[in-house]
Amino acid sequence: MNKYNLRAEYVKKIHPHTYKRIEENVKPNLLNRNFDIEHPNKVWVTDITYLIFNNKRAYLSTILDLFDRKVVAYRISKFNDNQLVIDTLNEAIAKNKDVYGLIIHSDQGFQYTSFSYKAICESVGIQISMSRKGTPLDDSPMESYHRILKKETLYNNYITNLEEYIAIVEDWIEFYNTKRIKKRKRK
């Protein structure tokens, strides 16, 4: 190529902005896959999932109560950032005043290891629990919820744009909390 004065052109891949989790804020797994909870507001699970349509992306942050698998709080944003998780957590706390001693379980994502997330949890007496790195089974009720949500919204509707998809997701969450039958194993 040098002989003919040719140069290869490289296309630089653009990666979404990623954040580094704060290792000292990683907490132990307090649940150890014990997802059968006897009382409400004792254990919440939380995670973020993508809502993708026609190369547009939104992010859904959800908190579920493991007792009845109801959505305690959720937020949808165009950004996968700390504010999304903080807003969801604050909404859940505002709806459920007595959260002292409650366990909130998540993966080790950067939002859940942030100082602001930790500070809010500590200020109201919420214990933080985290899945082991790379082990989605440690958070399987949340992963299952997001899988069902996508299956019953995206794949069962004729959707023309992201805004319509978000509206369908919001309606589905209301349906999920009030009418959809949920399986629960009981001992």
pLDDT at residue 187, as a whole number: 47
How distant, in Å, are the alpha carbons of 30, 58, 63, 166 from that of 159? 40, 15, 26, 10
Pairwise CA distance, residues 66 & 60, whole Å: 18
Q: pTM of the full predicted structure? A: 0.82
pLDDT at residue 45, as a whole number: 96
Tokens linked to 61? 């942050």
pLDDT at residue 21, as a whole number: 58
Pairwise CA distance, residues 71 & 63, whole Å: 6
Q: Where would I find the H helices in the chain?
A: 82-95, 115-124, 140-153, 162-178
Tell me how long the chain is: 187
What are residue 58's phi and psi, to 5 degrees? -130, 165
Task: DSSP letter for 70, please.
Answer: -
Contacts of 36 (CB under 8 A, 6+ apart): 184, 185, 186, 187
Per-residue pLDDT of the chain (187 residues; tens, 9 = 90+): 677 776 666 555 545 555 555 677 789 888 888 888 889 999 999 999 988 877 788 899 999 999 999 999 999 999 999 999 999 999 999 999 889 999 999 999 999 999 999 999 999 999 999 988 888 888 889 999 999 998 888 777 777 888 888 899 999 999 999 988 766 555 4
pLDDT at residue 16, as a whole number: 55
Helix and strand element counts for the chain (H, E)? 4, 5
Nearest Cα to 144, choosing from 185, 108, 101, 116? 185
User: All domains of the chain, ordered by start, with CATH?
Assistant: 26-178 (3.30.420.10)
Pairwise CA distance, residues 45 & 73, whole Å: 11
pLDDT at residue 89, as a whole number: 98
Pairwise CA distance, residues 128 & 104, whole Å: 5
59-69 pLDDT, tens digit per residue, is: 999 999 999 99
What are residue 59's phi and psi, to 5 degrees? -125, 135
